[in-house]
Amino acid sequence: MEPVIDLTEYGDALRRDPHPVYARLREQGPVHRVRFATPGGPWETWLVVGYEEARAALADARLAKDTAKIGEVPLDEQLIGKYLLTADPPQHTRLRGLVARAFTMRRVEQLRPRVQQITDELLDEMLPRGRADLIDALAYPLPITVICELLGVPEMDRAEFRKLSTEVVAPTGEDSEQAATVRLAEYLTELIEDKRRAGPTGDLLSDLIRTTAEDGDRLSAQELRGLAYLLLIAGHETTVNLIGNAVLALLTHPGQLAALRADPALLDAAVEETLRWEGPVQNATFRYAAEPLEIAGTRIGRGQGVLVGLTAAHRDAGRYAQPDRFDIRRDTRGHLAFGHGIHYCLGAPLARLEGRIALGTLLDRAPGLALDGAPGEWLPGLLMRGVRSLPVRW
């Protein structure tokens, strides 16, 4: 067994800036046995830090998602039920097929005017103040409003939902994630039942309740709850950090900000470079070896866990020249911010749409945008990469 690299020794430095740590790991090799700190205590797993190895691992069917096959069921799955990120084919194929019927590119594109309207309304409220926390004023309320409207979550429930979902993806204590997940499970069960009784209302969750495949297959109540859980959390937490990280990157790289202001056609490229340089997801969700396998010559035993490091892979100089440089003119093709393979993010078009509209409209309407102090702390945990607050002025 390869020696364990104890990342807990880095303390809070790993949370503030993981890039130097991952760079040292890449120098030693693309795959390592590491120990992370978690709210429940230290946790050991394999971590893939090389780009080519990460890309291959994301699409490797031997790295499974359904941990029930090795006798383990994650907390969220125990409480919520099976969903896309905890399923393997053929179950994953079936679930994704049913969901994709309602979550189409056409439906996302139809959201464009509403995303623009919400962005404008948020900026109408924010800009007269002269300064704000961008996370609270724009980066959070935009995607949470969009995904809640899309799924049909009542407006009165959204503040509580924010608190619960943030605790799930970046827990602050040993029991906080479990308590938040329990409350989310209860809430989603009630929401689905309300929608089932109400009949068709035109929102996505209502449509999914009634979606039927050609063979008559449809989602069970538990599968609907799992899907709503995934879409609500993945559909906004990631986009919050995409918007926040993009603005932070540009405000700390004035040359790149000036280039974007001079040529708004670079907007899409700025979003894609943010996804590569400081993407919203630090590590892909948990996988395990369904059978013994090797990654870059490292033997991984059956049942052992594997984390695919997206943040680490994106700074691999073997894939991107001068990877630590934020460059909105860079060719970012092949980045892994939305994953790769059968688990590629279903919501990628929506995240891109929201990111582009939020960033473009903000820069257009706040020409003097600048930092107004230090950003808040980076989120804890292994999953998300983003700051809790981002003070700005204009």
What string of pLDDT tens digits covers the 394 residues of the chain? 678 999 999 888 999 999 999 999 999 999 999 998 877 778 899 999 999 999 999 999 999 999 877 777 777 788 888 888 889 999 999 989 888 866 677 888 899 999 999 999 999 999 999 999 999 999 999 999 998 888 888 887 887 877 888 787 777 765 677 888 888 888 889 989 988 888 888 888 888 888 765 667 788 888 889 888 888 888 788 999 999 999 999 999 999 999 999 999 999 999 999 999 999 999 999 999 999 999 999 999 999 999 999 999 999 999 999 999 999 999 999 999 999 999 999 889 999 999 999 999 999 999 999 999 999 999 988 889 999 999 999 9
d(CA 388, CA 139): 11
Residue 13: other Cβ atoms inside 10 A? 12
CA distances from 117 to 235, 243, 345 (A): 19, 17, 25
The pTM of the full predicted model, rounded to 2 decimals, is: 0.93
> Domains, the chain, ranges and CATH?
4-393 (1.10.630.10)
Note the pLDDT of residue 342.
95
AA letter at 15: R
Helix crossing, 141-151 with 158-169: angle to 10°? 110
Give the distance between the most distant pair of CA atoms in the chain: 60
8 A C-beta contact, residue 247 and residue 163:
no
Residue 48 forms beta bridges with which residues?
31, 308
Note the pLDDT of residue 174.
59
